[in-house]
């Protein structure tokens, strides 16, 4: 039972990271109707930016961990957001009115560009960092197995919850959120009513990318390493999460992220570590076949 609780904690933490990435997928799909294949690599870039910022801050002699973390978070979010903006501007905006396949291939190309850019500029080897946040609590000790809750896990979950609260507020209460929802429903009508569609779409990418940067930083804190290839698998899994939760639905993305995190962790714990990705992808296929609208999605009505 203790083992189960430990896995539950681990799964929830991993799920929060997936959920943060999944929000970017679901937002972009909602507003422009395309799978942003480069989003996983934006997450990877976010991890790298966080790593480099952290390294600089430590080397100029900063010692206060909370200040360092806050600065790293802000820098990573800002710079990665600019990556998201640039990707949309270069690779997707010229193709917005084009036929369906063109933006998808452009996105795949962009994904190659980003991951290989990271490889070329930072080297192919895995970058380890020493544990930044240490310590933790023992929740329950039954003698042979102790349920641990580490401080990193608390930081990851708390950051995710806080950001989600801010983000939900933005989408549901602000002018920008209203514009975004309007563009999702009908871009032409939104434009007629004075919504700057281009700007709204750009902002969607910016927000998605900054949340992916947070996920990248959390990944760095939690696993203590980044590498240039981590975006691909994480990206597909986060997309799985977005689909599982019902694409286009924001709470759905978070819920799907948690579900994928839990499934992956429990599969690794009770069955086999090697096949954990196979399990996640099989879930994707099964969900799409039996529940194409996901957990919280609205059914797509097809008009002829």
Partner 1 sequence: MAVPAPHPASTEPSAGLGFILKKAVISALVALVLFFLMIGIRTEAGPSGQLIYWTRFGELAAIVGAVFVGSIVIELLRRWIGPVGGVELPASVRGGFAVLGRLLAPALLIFALLVPVIFYKERYLLDLAILVMTYVMLGWGLNIVVGLAGLLDLGYVAFYAVGAYSYALLAQSGLPFPHFIDTYPYVALDFQQLGPWAFWVLLPVSGLLAALWGVILGFPVLRLRGDYLAIVTLAFGEIIRLVILNWQDLTGGPNGISGIPRPTVFGIPLTPGEHGFAAMIGVPFSPTHRLVFLFYLILALALITNWVTIRLRALPIGRAWEAMREDEVACRALGINITTTKLSAFAIGAMFGGFAGAFFATRQGFISPESFSFQESALVLAIVVLGGMGSQLGVALAAIAMIGGFELFRGLDQFRMLVFGGVMVLLMIWRPRGLIGHRAPTVFLQKRTEISASLVKEGHG
Site for partner 1 in 110-169 (CB under 8 A): 110-130
The nearest distance, CB 281 to partner 1, in angstroms, is 4
Among 43, 83, 167, 267, the residue binding partner 1 under the rule CB under 8 A is 83
Residue selected from 20, 31, 42, 51 as contacting partner 1 according to rule CB under 8 A: 51
Q: How far is the CB of 5 from partner 1 (least distance, A)?
A: 28
- State the minimum distance, in angstroms, from the CB of residue 91 to partner 1: 5
The burial class, CB within 10 Å (0-12 / 13-18 / 19+), for 208 is buried
Q: Closer CB to partner 1, residue 1 or residue 289? A: 289
Residue recorded with tokens 């270069």: 90
Q: How far is the CB of 29 from partner 1 (least distance, A)?
A: 8
Interaction of residue 60 with partner 1, rule CB under 8 A = no
Give, to the nearest 10 degrees, the angle between helix 197-223 and helix 39-59. 60
d(CA 157, CA 167): 15
The number of residues making up the chain comes to 304
User: How far apart are the C-alpha atoms of 214 and 191, rounded to whole Å?
Assistant: 31
Residue 61, phi-psi category: left (phi > 0), alpha (psi -120 to 50), beta (remainder):
left
Closest to 16 in 3D by CA, of 260, 291, 279, 228: 260
CB of 173 vs partner 1, minimal distance in Å: 29
Is residue 202 at the binding interface for partner 1, with CB under 8 A as the rule?
Answer: no
Q: How far is the CB of 119 from partner 1 (least distance, A)?
A: 7
Q: Tell me which residues in 207-246 interact with partner 1 (CB under 8 A).
A: 232, 236, 239-240, 243
Helices 250-270 and 230-245: crossing angle in degrees, nearest 10, is 120
Residues 6 or more apart whose Cβ sits within 8 Å of residue 166: none
Stretch that binds partner 1, among 178-186, 189-197, 259-267, 285-293 (CB under 8 A): 285-293
Q: Judged by CB under 8 A, does residue 95 bind partner 1? A: yes
Q: Which is nearer to partner 1, 106 or 265 (CB)?
A: 106
Does 32 participate in binding partner 1 (rule CB under 8 A)?
Answer: no
CA dihedral sign, ordered 103, 107, 108, 113: positive
Does residue number 205 form part of the binding site for partner 1 (CB under 8 A)? no
Residues 241-280 that bind partner 1 (CB under 8 A): 243, 274-275, 277-278
Burial class (CB in 10 A: 0-12, 13-18, 19+), 32: buried
Cβ proximity to partner 1, 97 vs 138, nearer residue: 97
Estimate to the nearest angstrom the gap between the alpha carbon of 119 and the chain centroid. 20
12, 28, 45, 147: residue in contact with partner 1 (rule CB under 8 A): 45
- Least gap, CB of 22 to partner 1 (angstroms): 13
Q: What is the DSSP string of 108-134?
A: HHHHHHHHHHHHHHH-SS-EE---SS-
The count of chain residues that interact with partner 1, using the rule CB under 8 A, is: 72
Residues 177 to 196: which contact partner 1 by CB under 8 A?
none
């Amino acid at each position: 039972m203790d083992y189960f609780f430990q896995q539950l904690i681990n799964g929830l933490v991993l799920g929060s990271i997936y959920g943060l990435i999944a929000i970017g997928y679901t937002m972009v799909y909602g507003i422009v109707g395309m799978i942003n294949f480069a989003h996983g690599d934006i997450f990877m870039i976010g991890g790298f930016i966080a790593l480099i910022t952290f390294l600089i801050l430590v080397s100029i002699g900063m010692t206060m961990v909370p200040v360092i973390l806050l600065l790293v978070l802000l820098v990573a979010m800002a710079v990665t957001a600019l990556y998201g903006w640039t990707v949309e501007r270069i690779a997707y905006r010229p193709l917005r009115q084009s036929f369906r396949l063109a933006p998808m291939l452009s996105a795949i190309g962009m994904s190659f560009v980003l991951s290989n850019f990271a490889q070329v500029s930072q080297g192919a080897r895995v970058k380890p960092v020493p544990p930044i946040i240490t310590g933790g609590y023992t929740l329950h000790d039954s003698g042979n197995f102790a349920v641990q809750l580490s401080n990193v896990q608390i930081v990851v979950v708390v950051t995710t919850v806080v950001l989600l609260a801010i983000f939900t507020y933005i989408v549901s209460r602000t002018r920008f959120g209203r514009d975004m929802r309007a563009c999702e429903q009908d871009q032409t009508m939104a434009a007629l009513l004075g919504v700057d569609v281009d700007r709204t779409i750009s902002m969607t990418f910016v927000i998605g990318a900054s949340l992916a940067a947070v996920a990248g930083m959390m990944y760095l804190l939690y696993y203590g390493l980044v590498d240039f290839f981590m975006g691909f698998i994480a990206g597909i899994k986060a997309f799985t999460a977005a689909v599982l939760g019902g694409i286009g639905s924001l709470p759905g993305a978070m819920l799907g992220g948690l579900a994928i995190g839990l499934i992956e962790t429990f599969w690794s714990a009770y069955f086999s570590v090697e096949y954990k990705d196979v399990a996640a992808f099989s879930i994707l296929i099964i969900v799409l076949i039996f529940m194409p609208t996901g957990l919280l999605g609205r059914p797509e009505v097809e008009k002829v």
